[in-house]
Structure 1
Amino acid sequence: MTRIAAVHGVLPPHRHTQREVTDMVARTCLPPGADRRVLDRLHENARVRTRHTVLPLDGYRDLDGFGTSNDVFIRSAVDLGAQAVRGALRAAGLRPTDVDLLMFTSVTGIAAPSVDARLVTRLGMRSDVKRLPVFGLGCVAGAAGTARLHDYLLGRPDDVAVLLSVELCSLTFQRHDASPANLVATALFGDGAAAV
């Protein structure tokens, strides 16, 4: 019988109030002199009090394109992912060498070699651990990933499988973009990792 033995979430170190995020968005997305009342209402009505990000807010102005942002994604995803997997294994009373399958999912960055591949040695997993990177599932990744782990474990009931999700939404922030989609995203999403 498949069962979830533990879940462990990790947040990055930089914590910001919604007002701090709103002020940063107003400075970087809205044209000079623009009326920010709609942005203020949107962020206030999102009912998000605080958010965690991998960089301090002023660090985002130094990201000069996808390559720079993705480099930060890789480093941060590996660091947060390692913490999340270690925490889940510890809570389940398991060691990294007990893991037979490591599945990784994200939609906010890409890596080759993949984040799961980078974690195998760092965590001390066996060299024959199976890995499965999954990209593009977005908000459904946790449910779909858990379902796929269940499918795997039906055929291998004595194995241990781990799902790791890392989403670093702050790195997808689009400066100078006052579109509704970007402003809604800046009102809602932060960064974090979780392992099951």
Structure 2
Amino acid sequence: MSRIAAVATALPEHTYSQQAITDMLAPMVATNPGRQALLRRMHASSKVRTRHLVLPLEEYRDALTFGQTNDRFVAEATRLAEAAAREALARAGLGADAVDLIVFTSVTGISAPSVDALLVPRLGMRKDVKRMPMFGLGCVAGASGIARVHDYLEGHPDGVALLVSVELCSLTVQKDDDSMDNLVASGLFGDGAAAVVMVGAARADRDGITGPDVVASRSRLYPDSGDVIGFRPSETGFRVILTAGVVEVIDANFPADAASFLADQGLGLHDVGTWIAHPGGPKVLEAFQRGLALPAGALDRSWASMAAVGNLSSSSVLHVLADELRAAHHPEERALLFALGPGVSAEFVLLRWPEPVEALAAA
């Protein structure tokens, strides 16, 4: 097993109320009064109270090309990624030169060299550090990133890996686009970053690193659902695809897949003490709650994260994980971390808090 040593988050400095964002975006996104009224109703019902934006609010009025927007992405994503990574490494008590693998994920901008390459000299990583940039996984990538890092550390039990996620969703909002997809996205998504430090089992035991163990993971790709969630590249940037079909996919597949994954680990839904869900939106969280028959309050941290910062795509579930790690957990407690993304794809990650080092030594 691998172990999560630390999680840190970073948010842009520009913070606005949902109402302020709505008032600015409404005339930009929709010129028709009826569509503007619909946008306002959808923003108000999103359960989002505040969002952090990478640009000052007034700058979103500027007509930028895809290239100009992407240039802003590279600069700001690198800055936020560095802040989150430095804090995560500090919390883990590790230097950047200890990192053997860095995984970077984002779906809201592109660059070559990728942001992970830009981070190597800024953080002081070794020249032989392995890099794995991931693009296209969208909201599922935070969970998938943990799972893929775990796969690497299973074969490198003395290794240290760093997962970094940055999503600047506000840069993808389309002006003069009153499609239902854009109306929903413009009221739900925010900007932010997260970093996770993970270590192999031997390194965790030798260095006394605390945190939950990654026990197992499972990926799912649902057929004939490619048009449910995603992005379409255009001259003005990424145009979001966000349909009501995601709830149908959850209802049809998620409960059985979660139960099957746990059953293969000798567990049932009742054995999970903590649920770490990607806050994809009110209807998504309600579908998770309903499908898994979760008790009231089981997804409170996901609801709270969505209200405070919005949906941060791949970074969101990592923000919820960071909040969860600040709470007390008893030894052997299990958590299920999960998310959905384009495909439609799903990722399940089973976590377990280990016995304290002193208890293991006494045994």
What is the TM-score with the length of structure 1 in the denominator? Answer: 0.97
Q: Deviations over 1:57-79 (max 9, x none)?
A: 11112241110110000000100
| Counterpart for residue 114 of structure 1 | 114
Is residue 164 of structure 1 aligned with residue 169 of structure 2?
A: no
Q: Considering Cα pairs closer than 8 Å and 6+ residues apart, tell me whether 1 or 2 has the greater RCO.
A: 1
Q: Residues of 1 paired with 2:180 and 2:161: CA distance?
A: 39
Partner of 2:39: 39
- Provide the C-alpha distance between the structure 2 equivalents of 1:76 and 1:114, rounded to a whole number of angstroms: 13
- In the alignment, the residues of structure 2 paired with residue 146 and residue 63 of structure 1 have an alpha-carbon distance, to the nearest angstrom, of 37
Q: Equivalent residue for 1:82?
A: 82
Q: Tell me, in whole angstroms, the C-alpha distance in 1 between the residues paired with 2:173 and 2:33.
A: 21
Cα deviation per residue 1:70-124 (whole Å; 9 max; x = unaligned)? 0000000100000000000000001100100000000000011100000000111
Q: Aligned in 2, Cα 1:183/1:156: closer, same or farther, shift over 3 Å?
A: same
Residue 194 of structure 1: aligned partner = 194
Match of 2:132 in 1: 132
Preserved CA contact (<8 Å) 1:78 1:119: yes
Is residue 2:50 matched to residue 1:50?
yes
How many matched pairs? 196
Q: Retained in 2: the 8 A contact 1:63–1:69?
A: no
Amino acid at match of 1:57: L
Residue 40 of structure 1: how far off its partner (Å):
1.5
SS in 2 for 1:43: helix
Report the Cα distance in structure 2 between the residues aligned to 1:35 and 1:121, rounded to whole angstroms.
47
**Residues 170 and 100 of structure 1: CA distance in aligned 2, closer, same or farther (over 3 Å):** same
SS at match of 2:164: strand
Instruction: Find the aligned partners of 2:2 and 2:158 in 1 and give their Cα distance.
Output: 9
User: Aligned letter for 1:182?
Assistant: N
Whether 1:179 aligns to 2:163 is no
Counterpart Cα distance in 1 of 2:186 and 2:32: 19
**3-state secondary structure, aligned to 2:55:** coil
Structure 1 or 2, whichever has the larger Rg, is: 2
Describe the SS at the equivalent of 1:3. strand
Amino acid at match of 2:52: H
| d(CA) in 2 for partners of 1:191, 1:38 | 23
Q: CA RMSD in A?
A: 1.1
* Equivalent in the alignment of 1:104: 104
| Higher strand content, 1 or 2 | 2
Which amino acid in 2 is paired with 1:53?
A: L
SS of corresponding position for 1:36: helix
Mind listing any 5+ residue stretches in structure 2 that lack a counterpart? 197-363
3-state DSSP of counterpart to 2:185: helix
> Corresponding residue for 1:24?
24
Deviation at 1:34, TM superposition (A): 4.9
The residue type equivalent to 1:19 in the other structure is Q
- The verdict on how the C-alpha distance between 1:57 and 1:148 changes in structure 2, with shifts beyond 3 A counting, is same
CA gap of 1:63–1:146, structure 2 versus 1, over 3 A, is farther
The residue type equivalent to 1:169 in the other structure is C
Separation in structure 2 between the aligned mates of residue 35 and residue 85 of structure 1, nearest angstrom:
41
Q: Which moved more, 1:62-71 or 1:47-56?
A: 62-71
Identity of aligned residues (%): 60
2:51/2:191 contact within 8 Å kept: yes
Return closer, same or farther for 1:35/1:67 CA change in 2, 3 Å cut-off: closer
Please tell me whether the aligned partners of residues 108 and 167 of structure 1 are also in contact (alpha carbons under 8 angstroms).
yes
Contact preservation (8 Å) 1:52, 1:190: yes
